[in-house]
Amino acid sequence: MADLRMKSVRVQKLIFEKSIPGRIGSNVPKADTPEVDLNDVLGSTRKELHLPEVGELEVMRHFVNLSHLTYGIETGFYPLGSCTMKYNPRINEVTASLSGFKNIHPMQPEYTVPGALEVLMNVYEILSAITGFDEITMQPVAGAHGEMTCLMLIKAYHESRGEGDKRKIVLIPDSAHGTNPASAARCGYDVKTIPTDKEGNTDLAALEAALDDTVAAFMVTNPSTLGLFEPNITKVCELVHSVGGQVFCDGANMNAMVGTTRPGDHGFDCMHLNLHKTFSTPHGGGGPGCGAIGLQNHLEPYLPAPALKRKDGKAYFDHNRPHTIGRVSSFYGQFLMAVRALTYLLAYGKEYMADISRYSVLNANYVQALLKDVLPAAHPRPCMHECVLTAKKYKEHGVRALDISKRLIDYGFHPPTNYFPLIVPECLMIEPTETEAKQTLDSFCSALIKICEEAVSNPDILHDAPTTQVVGRLDEAKAVKMLDVAWKPTQETANV
């Protein structure tokens, strides 16, 4: 029976294992220029190239069947906390595939691409209005890349004031995303952790104690990863500024603020945005991301070069940037993601922009309310765009947050984020986003309530979950110990 089920869901052999010598999956352009002696022209040529040989239909079947074994937002509810898995409007894909955007070269003369510069500038101007920052740049290509770029701006700023050698510490809350400390380390900074208080806010006393003139920056996620707005944010920024430090806002949770409040007004010096979270560009299974950053005027001289500016109504690249930190990516960032983001921003416009934060916050609070008896909130306060719940009471039945998540897969839902933030025991972080209907949230919560009953009555169902997918829980230890990360032509399984 199991075998038949596997066949019906079309588990795929590796594409290499489908290879039959002589088959081709594409008719590449024919050469009509004179033949040449390749060894003569190139010096030498390669002998073997073990790429698969499959027909065109087989290529399509292979990948279409693999897509069936993949869960996306268009498949179903995807409440992955901190990831803002909202609907990715299809018109974005249409505009991003317009030839005038898709088929232009990044090094063709600037005067041949005014429309592309206008797209970027449009996005900059709208994001500037939404976030309250003076300047925007989209050269960083992912969220973590944006964080890193912001820290580089801060580093350049301190260096310009002769304080580069002195300010070596970056403060980071214990609730922060792992990218924050990793980005700080990537910029040569030492990390000091700031605790969260009982209510889920920054521990102000601990912050004050940590502040001195060795601090380069404080990286704050607001709303925090606990899904809570930091009510003392203005005070936090003032404290850091009073010792000459800079304050960075991790914008992963911008969805809660769009059209409602602007981090640029809170006292932040710079922030990063994830356009693939807040502004609906598709995440594509792990990228491309798009890490626009916002910054106030005092950091402007250090912008990555070239800087996009407007003069006499026209957008242009300013290459004359003597104080720039330099380039952080190959060209101008994820341009086709900017096209998608602009399409999205204009689909809302000034009239509806605030609906993004309003309905995302409504949805999260609704889920928190429906689940309060089975999975209480870590901090019983109104949450913002996501709710952070704890499953610790099921531990006595031998059930952990991960088991609940895996069981959700059997019910047809993508699990929430598990075990993050790290400071909440048996954490489930649920971010429904504004694009989900009440009825979807109802069925999701009903499933979770049912699972919590199972956790008490029959915990093994949860331990064995999921049982509805092509594989059950995988042996992660074996994956590390018997590392197999590339198919090799010489052996069936290449253990390295």
Partner 1 sequence: MPYIPHTEQDVREMLATIGVDSIDDLFVEIPEDLRLKGQLDIPNQMDEHTLLGYMQGLSEQNLDLSRTVCYLGAGIYDRFIPSTVGAVLSRGEFLTAYTPYQPEASQGYLQTIYEFQSMVAELYGMDIANASMYDGATSMAEAAIMATGIKKRNRVAASRAIHPNSRKVLGTYCWSMDVQVDDLHTEDGATTDWSNVTEETACVIVQYPNFYGVIEDLTAARKAADKVGAMLIVVADPTACGILPPPGEFGADVVVGEGQPLGIPMGFGGPLLGLFACKTEYVRLIPGRIVGRTTDAEGRTGFTMTLRTREQDIRREKATSNICTNEALMALASTVYMSALGKNGLRKVAETSVRNTQYAIQKLTEAGGQLRFGGKVFGEFVLELPKSASAVRDALLEQGILAGLPLGDYDPTLENCLLIAVTEVRTKAQIDDFAMKLKKELGN
Quote the strand ranges of 64-126, DSSP E: none
153 CB-near residues (< 8 Å, 6+ apart)? 270, 295, 299, 302, 303, 325
Please report, as residue ranges, which positions from 160 to 189 form the binding site for partner 1 (by CB under 8 A).
177-179, 181-188
Site string for partner 1, 376-415 (x = CB under 8 A): -----xx-x--------------------xx--x----xx
Transcribe 80-95 into DSSP letters. Answer: BTTS------HHHHHH
Q: CB–CB of 394/454 below 8 Å?
A: no
- Tell me: does residue 4 bind partner 1 (CB under 8 A): no
| Residue 202 phi, psi dihedral angles, 5° rounding | -60, 135
CA 331 to chain centre: 21
Q: Give CA torsion, residues 437, 442, 443, 446, to 10 deg.
A: 160
- Tell me: does residue 490 bind partner 1 (CB under 8 A): no
Please identify which residue in 1, 4, 8, 46 interacts with partner 1, judged by CB under 8 A: 46
Please identify which residue in 194, 365, 401, 427 interacts with partner 1, judged by CB under 8 A: 365
Site string for partner 1, 218-257 (x = CB under 8 A): ----------xx-x-xx-----------------------
109 CB-near residues (< 8 Å, 6+ apart)? none
Query: How far apart, in whole angstroms, are the C-alpha atoms of residue 144 and residue 178?
Result: 9
Place of tokens 């005038």: 100
Site string for partner 1, 250-289 (x = CB under 8 A): ---------xxxx--xx---------x-----xxxxxxxx
Please report, as residue ranges, which positions from 78 to 107 form the binding site for partner 1 (by CB under 8 A).
78, 80, 83, 85-89, 91, 93-95, 97-107
Question: Which ranges in 415-458 belong to alpha helices (H)?
Answer: 438-457
Distances (CA, A) of 401 to 88, 243, 462: 28, 41, 10
- Tell me: does residue 436 bind partner 1 (CB under 8 A): yes
Which of 138/240 has CB closer to partner 1?
A: 138
- Tell me: does residue 423 bind partner 1 (CB under 8 A): no
CB of 205 to partner 1, least distance (A): 20
Contact region for partner 1 (CB under 8 A) — 60-68, 242-250, 389-397, 446-454? Answer: 60-68
CB of 148 to partner 1, least distance (A): 6
Site string for partner 1, 452-481 (x = CB under 8 A): --------------x--xxxxxxxx-xxx-
- Tell me: does residue 141 bind partner 1 (CB under 8 A): yes
Where residue 287 falls (left for φ over 0; alpha for ψ -120 to 50; beta otherwise) is left
Query: How far apart, in whole angstroms, are the C-alpha atoms of residue 292 and residue 121?
Result: 12
Which of 34/396 has CB closer to partner 1?
A: 34
